[in-house]
Structure 1
Amino acid sequence: MKADGRPRTAREKYGEELKLRRMAAGLTQEALAREVVCSPTLISHYEAGRRLPSPDDARRIDQALGTDGFFERWLQDLEPVFAHYFGLVAELEQEVTEIRHYGGLLIPGLLQTKAYARAVFEAYSPTYRTEELDELVVSRTKRAMLLEEPSAPVTWFLLDEAALRRQVGGPQVMAEQLRKIADMADSGRVRMHVLPLASGAHALLEGMVYLLTFADAAPLAYIEGLHNGRLLDDPALVAACRTSYTLALSDAASRQKSVALVRSIAEEHEHAHRRAQHP
């Protein structure tokens, strides 16, 4: 546990161990940087858990500290499978007791089917290889297993109707995606509400927000844009995000009406698929 009450992430533990081993070896950050052939600032980032060393840097760290491959081997378990700005959030998900997510433009990753996720990754990539997409889809699928565990967090999803109607991957993919969401809501695994298009402007219209609550640490908020994301720990900003979520939730349809709307839109996608198959 960190001094601010937030759980330590795996990369922060890595950085703390690096700092302890460096100090035990009697080296300053500047001295270690000379051995690794990098800047002292980069060593500082490694020790704070803000960045991970490359495999070559980890190998040179082991040589400088006489740690017999310790940091290079540990790095293999920490190699990022998510975008650099989301990796910390993915680690913190394992500690949460409650999640609240607003999906305005996309179905949130924790809910995505493999076909939907693949279509999203294809759209994001100007060029791609099949095996790279396979790895990304597998990583997203593994992350979603969080909701299958017996100790799964209480999870709320607030979805904009626009995300339900956008044909990501085509009508058949969307029909399967929306049925999955409705089934999860009906089973009680998640709490899901929809913000109908008819509700007009709402408090989360300008962006995505992801709220994380912990049993013994302060809550956090994560916001994301194009090719960037930001984890918020300032209490005032986190509180403001939670207030915006609550305001938007007050404009949403009830749970029962939301599930019915999701199933209705799924049928619309299914009909569109049938028409395309038999014009």
Structure 2
Amino acid sequence: MKKIFILCALTFVSIVIGFGKESLRKWTNQEGREISAELISLVNEKATLRMNNGREYVIELSTLSEADSNYARQWQKAKETAASMEEAGIKIGVPTEAIVETAFDQQTPPIQKGMISGWKAGLGEWRIDDGALIGDELPENNHASSLTHRLEATHLIITAEVQLGTAQQIAFACRDTVPPNLHLGRLYITPDKLWIQHMNGIAKTTKAEKLVTKKVKLDPEKWYNVTIEIIGDHYRAKVGKEEIEATHSRFADAKGIIALVNKGQGAKYRNVALWHAEPKE
């Protein structure tokens, strides 16, 4: 999977604001000489600058000041990030800070309780095999398998790759910050449909309502990119090329736990990332 977010030193919001509205700026070379120009492109460490009169010059970054050469490289990275963000189908949010990025590529024997690559196995049996996380439901649990990660977030973006395998369904579950972390909402994925539901309560007090369902045709043996945006009361998801969205006031509540939930055996995950986000203007 192409890595979606590549800037860690700067937040995505500052990149969008700082580089998205490019205009004339001062550029200084190693000798201290200055010109005012707009950065048009950066290819192989060569920047194309356009003067106010329309004339363009190609300049080696090595001839510019350290601050200006770094600016040009960050500008290029911002362009690449924006393109990757569009490819991932992110539309209503802007990622600002990574919470966790887990490849699940370190071989790990089966566990039923405990930590696995920074996530907590609660129900079912989990392992990492051949570069993928696998979570199997256990009959004695009488419940789908569940792997969780704690966080504190208002707006949230989730990206991952999933393969259904022989599992009946998988879900990306979200719980709030109210002890004992009540259910908030879920995206369900099966071979023939997707649905989003809002939730409340916990265990036997859980209440849920399907807000939207979409018929799909997913190959259980194929890997699919998943992108979920929970921005305010808006919940939007993309699985492969399929998109689904819903709104509910419950989605605006603070998020405290994200869970990967499998019904059945054989579902796989890799490259799971959780991001703080802001609404896209």
Q: What TM-score does the superposition give when structure 2 sets the normalisation length?
A: 0.31
Which of the pair is proportionally richer in strand? 2
Which of the pair is proportionally richer in helix? 1
Q: What TM-score does the superposition give when structure 1 sets the normalisation length?
A: 0.31
Answer 1 or 2: higher relative contact order, Cα 8 Å, separation at least 6.
Answer: 2
